[in-house]
Amino acid sequence: MKHRMFATVLVALIITLSTGLGQAQERTDQGYYTLRDERDRVITMTGRELDPGDHYIAGDNRLFEVTGIEGDTVTVRYLETIELPAITADFHGAQVSKSDETSGVVGIYHTHNAESYVPSSGTESKDDGRGDILKVGQALAAGMEDMGLTVYWSDNSHIPHDGQAYMRSRRTATELLQKKPDTLLDLHRDATPPEIYETEIEGVPTTKVRLVVGRQNQNREANLEYAKRIKAVADDMYPGLVEGIFDARGNYNQDLGPKMILMEFGAHTTSLEQAEQAAEYFAKVIPAAAGLTTSTQGAAESQIGGGANRALVWMIVVVAVVVVGFLLVSQGKIGSLTAFFRREAGLGRDNDHEDDHK
């Protein structure tokens, strides 16, 4: 007993210590990282902590891989210039279609509902939980309703902005999923200098938008294809609107389903008005990207569905490897695998309760 308690406390200490080391690397200066390629050219900036192996698709579709981090500089390696899905349909004035395949429903929520824009509100975060980001969500919802979609926008509060915020917003996400949305969007803002996000589209000041796909879940392939489609549509309709796509660590509750995406509308250093403008543009981009308009349904289905199919194959392979690996470890011989599957299929005597089961 004493040994076990000692071991428990030891593990607790190690885990706490290792997270403490993480804390030592944490920025307290409102700092940000600059991504530079092999020739020291600036690719982008982000408040996000990156790891070697993370991928970034830049605005011009160049795909980079993070190779190292030193101080404020993240070095990236150019891999290739990717092809976004071909866009053939004319999106302008496209009509939303409701069919057997699509419900025409969109869900919007905000994990960090207190996030705000300093130039507009004088603060980067509002303690009452009614952050500026909610107004960006409202603008996006209103724009999509004008397109004929049914939008469920949640202003559920998940404050404080701590490590459990995603655990709390998961509850909002599952509530929204009960409305059977075709796509579910988690709207945030980034924390970088303004020049990364500020732009003009047809002379109108707006912020760019960055898409974030979490790779630690089974829907990553489908969601990455969705992100690429969003960028392809936006590049066609409003060139320069999408700053890039992060394909990075994390999950961001995207394990709950395909066509779930996290979007950064500007940074705390850009204005709310610019972010609302971007939301207005995105209200036209999302329906086309998600295949909710008549002319886009087939293309969206084949592309995002293709990612989903690849994910399916991966998932089945991983499950098979885990099951076989576990059985080999626990029983040590191939012969026991047949016995296991016979038992699971109800063909043999159910004797797996005998070794009950500390």
Partner 1 sequence: MPTGTALLLIVAALIYFGVGQRLLDRMRLTDTQALIAIALMIGGSFITVPLRTGRTSVGLNLGGGLVPLALVVYLLIKADTAKERIRSIVAAIITGGIVYGVSQITDFDPSSPALFIDPLWLFSIVAGIVGYVSGRSRRASFIAGVLGLFAVDLVHLIQAVASNMATRVVLGGAGVFDATILAGLIAVALAEFVGETRERLAGGGEEL
48-77 residues in contact with partner 1 (CB under 8 A) are 48-49, 51
* Residue 101 or 146 with smaller CB distance to partner 1: 101
Position among 110, 112, 229, 231 found at the interface with partner 1 (CB under 8 A):
112
CA count, 13 A, side-chain hemisphere, 111: 26
CB of 41 to partner 1, least distance (A): 23
C-alpha to C-alpha distance for 213 and 225, rounded to whole angstroms: 10
> Tokens 């101080």 sit at which residue?
71
Q: Should residue 356 be labelled a site residue for partner 1 when binding is judged by CB under 8 A?
A: yes
Q: Is 41 left (phi over 0), alpha (psi -120 to 50) or beta?
A: beta
Q: Should residue 178 be labelled a site residue for partner 1 when binding is judged by CB under 8 A?
A: yes
Q: Should residue 214 be labelled a site residue for partner 1 when binding is judged by CB under 8 A?
A: yes
Q: Which residue in 298, 198, 297, 213 sits closest to 248, CA to CA?
A: 213
CB of 224 to partner 1, least distance (A): 13
CB of 102 to partner 1, least distance (A): 8
User: How many chain residues interact with partner 1 (CB under 8 A)?
Assistant: 101
Position among 16, 60, 351, 354 found at the interface with partner 1 (CB under 8 A):
16
Position among 81, 95, 216, 294 found at the interface with partner 1 (CB under 8 A):
216
Q: Is 56 left (phi over 0), alpha (psi -120 to 50) or beta?
A: beta
- C-beta separation of 73 from 37 below 8 A: no
C-alpha to C-alpha distance for 7 and 88, rounded to whole angstroms: 62
Q: Should residue 335 be labelled a site residue for partner 1 when binding is judged by CB under 8 A?
A: no
* Residue 16 or 88 with smaller CB distance to partner 1: 16
Q: Should residue 307 be labelled a site residue for partner 1 when binding is judged by CB under 8 A?
A: yes
C-alpha to C-alpha distance for 226 and 231, rounded to whole angstroms: 9
Position among 315, 317, 321, 324 found at the interface with partner 1 (CB under 8 A):
315
Q: Should residue 312 be labelled a site residue for partner 1 when binding is judged by CB under 8 A?
A: yes
- C-beta separation of 73 from 83 below 8 A: no
* Residue 24 or 86 with smaller CB distance to partner 1: 24
Q: Should residue 27 be labelled a site residue for partner 1 when binding is judged by CB under 8 A?
A: yes
Q: Should residue 249 be labelled a site residue for partner 1 when binding is judged by CB under 8 A?
A: yes
Residue 228, CA distances (Å) to 11, 82, 346 in order: 42, 10, 44
* Residue 259 or 284 with smaller CB distance to partner 1: 259
Q: Should residue 25 be labelled a site residue for partner 1 when binding is judged by CB under 8 A?
A: yes
Position among 42, 79, 204, 316 found at the interface with partner 1 (CB under 8 A):
316
Strands 105-109 and 183-190: parallel
Q: Should residue 270 be labelled a site residue for partner 1 when binding is judged by CB under 8 A?
A: no
Chain-centre distance for alpha carbon 54: 13
Q: Should residue 99 be labelled a site residue for partner 1 when binding is judged by CB under 8 A?
A: no
C-alpha to C-alpha distance for 175 and 181, rounded to whole angstroms: 11
Q: Should residue 345 be labelled a site residue for partner 1 when binding is judged by CB under 8 A?
A: no
The three-class DSSP label of residue 132 is: helix
The three-class DSSP label of residue 224 is: helix
* Residue 125 or 143 with smaller CB distance to partner 1: 125
Q: Should residue 165 be labelled a site residue for partner 1 when binding is judged by CB under 8 A?
A: yes
Position among 106, 184, 224, 311 found at the interface with partner 1 (CB under 8 A):
311
Here the tokens at position 335 are: 């012969």
